[in-house]
Amino acid sequence: MSGQEFKRALGYANAAFELLKRSGIPPYPQFYELLYTYATGVNPSLNNRINAIFREGSSPSVDLAEALYNEFLKSDVNDRISDVSERMHARIEAVHDAIDSAMTTANAYSGSLQAASGDLQQDITVETLKSLANRLLLETRVMQETNQALEQKLEASRDDIAALQRDLDDVRRESMLDPLTKIANRKSFDEGLEAAVAEANIGDQPLCLMIADIDHFKTFNDTYGHQTGDQVLRLVAMTIRSNIKGKDLAARYGGEEFVAILPSTDLDGAVIVAENVRKAIQAKELLKRSTNEKLGRITASFGVAAFRSGDTPSSLLERADRCLYAAKHAGRNRVVSETELAEMQAAGSGISAA
> Quick one: 109 and 64 in the same domain?
no
Radius of gyration of the chain (CA): 32
> Quick one: 294 and 338 in the same domain?
yes
Q: What pLDDT score was predicted for residue 119?
A: 65
> Quick one: 295 and 169 in the same domain?
no
- For the chain, the average pLDDT equals 81
Q: Which of 143, 175, 207 is the last residue of a domain?
A: 175
Is residue 317 assigned to a domain?
yes
- 351 has pLDDT over 60: no
Question: At CA 124, angle to CA 118 and CA 126, rounded to 5?
Answer: 125
- CATH code at position 285: 3.30.70.270
Residues ≥6 apart with Cβ < 8 Å to 139: 108, 109, 112
Catalytic residue flag (residue 86): no
> Quick one: 119 and 191 in the same domain?
no
> Quick one: 171 and 206 in the same domain?
no
Question: At CA 34, angle to CA 32 and CA 40, rounded to 5?
Answer: 100
Residue (of 11, 16, 24) closest to 64 by Cα position: 24
Q: Is 293 helix (H, G, I), strand (E, B) or coil?
A: strand
- 72 has pLDDT over 60: yes
> Quick one: 14 and 110 in the same domain?
no
Ranking 159-163, 216-220, 265-269, 300-304 by mean pLDDT, the lowest is: 159-163
> Quick one: 328 and 219 in the same domain?
yes
> Quick one: 69 and 102 in the same domain?
no
Query: Which range has highest mean pLDDT (45-59, 65-79, 109-123, 289-303)?
Result: 289-303
Is residue 354 assigned to a domain?
no
Q: How many domains does the chain have?
A: 3
> Quick one: 255 and 314 in the same domain?
yes
Q: Which of 74, 94, 110 is the last residue of a domain?
A: 74
Is residue 307 assigned to a domain?
yes
Is residue 8 assigned to a domain?
yes
Q: How many Cβ atoms sit within 10 Å of the Cβ of residue 63?
A: 8
> Quick one: 55 and 117 in the same domain?
no
Helix (H) / strand (E) containing 140: helix 126-175
Segment 319-348 shows an average pLDDT of 92
pTM value surpassing 0.75: no
- 319 has pLDDT over 50: yes
Residue (of 282, 336, 346, 330) closest to 304 by Cα position: 336
Q: Which of 51, 74, 97 is the last residue of a domain?
A: 74
- 73 has pLDDT over 60: yes
- Domain of 96 in residue numbering reads as 77-175
Is residue 90 assigned to a domain?
yes
Is residue 181 assigned to a domain?
no
Q: What pLDDT score was predicted for residue 266?
A: 95
- 354 has pLDDT over 50: no
The model's confidence at residue 55, banded by pLDDT at 50, 70 and 90, is: confident
> Quick one: 19 and 133 in the same domain?
no
Judge whether 50 and 57 are in contact, CB under 8 Å: no
The sign of the CA dihedral 53, 59, 65, 70 is negative
Q: Is 300 helix (H, G, I), strand (E, B) or coil?
A: strand
Q: Strands 249-254, 257-263: parallel, antiparallel or unpaired by DSSP?
A: antiparallel
Q: What pLDDT score was predicted for residue 341?
A: 92
Select which of 86, 191, 194, 256 is catalytic: 256
